[in-house]
Amino acid sequence: MVSPSSKLGFSNKLIKALASDKRLNILIQLMLRRETVTGLSKELSIPKSTTYDNLVVLIDSGLVKKNEGNKWVYYELTTKGREIIQNIVLKSPITTH
C-alpha cells in the first residue's frame, strides 16, 4: 500500500523534520546564513544538545548539510531545504496578535 505522503513526494523523514517548531526555527535561521551549533543555540535560546539533535534530524531528511571547516563545523540549507522553507515562509499567511 502506498502512503499518502509518498504520493505527494514527501518522505517520512521529511515530514518528521518539518513537524517540529524548533526544527522550523533552525531552518529559518539557516535561511539567513550558515551557522554553528553554538550560534544557533544562542540565537534560538535552546541548549546546544537540543540544537545538535534537531540538526541530525534535518541532515537525515536532506534539508541541511554539514560543512566542516578548519576550526568550526557550519550547518547550512541544502537546495531542497531552501526551496521548502521558502515555500513555507512565503506562502504562509502572516498573522498579528
The percentage of residues in the chain with a pLDDT greater than 90, rounded to a whole number, is 69
Is there a domain that residue 5 lies in? no
Is there a domain that residue 22 lies in? yes
- In the block, cell 534560538 appears at 44
**Domain of 50?**
11-90
Q: Is the pLDDT of residue 25 over 90?
A: yes
Rounded mean pLDDT of the chain? Answer: 86
Is there a domain that residue 47 lies in? yes
Q: Where residue 46 sits, what CATH number does that domain have?
A: 1.10.10.10
Is there a domain that residue 95 lies in? no
Q: Is the pLDDT of residue 4 over 50?
A: no
Q: Which of 16, 13, 27, 12 is nearest to 83 (CA)?
A: 27
Task: Please give the helix or strand (H or E) that residue 53 lies within, else none.
Answer: helix 48-60
Query: What region, left, alpha or beta, does residue 45 occupy, with left being phi > 0 and alpha being psi -120 to 50 degrees?
Result: left
C-alpha–C-alpha distance, residues 67 and 24, integer Å: 20
24 backbone dihedrals φ, ψ, rounded to 5°: -65, -40
Is there a domain that residue 48 lies in? yes
- pLDDT (0 to 100) of residue 95: 54
Domain total of the chain: 1
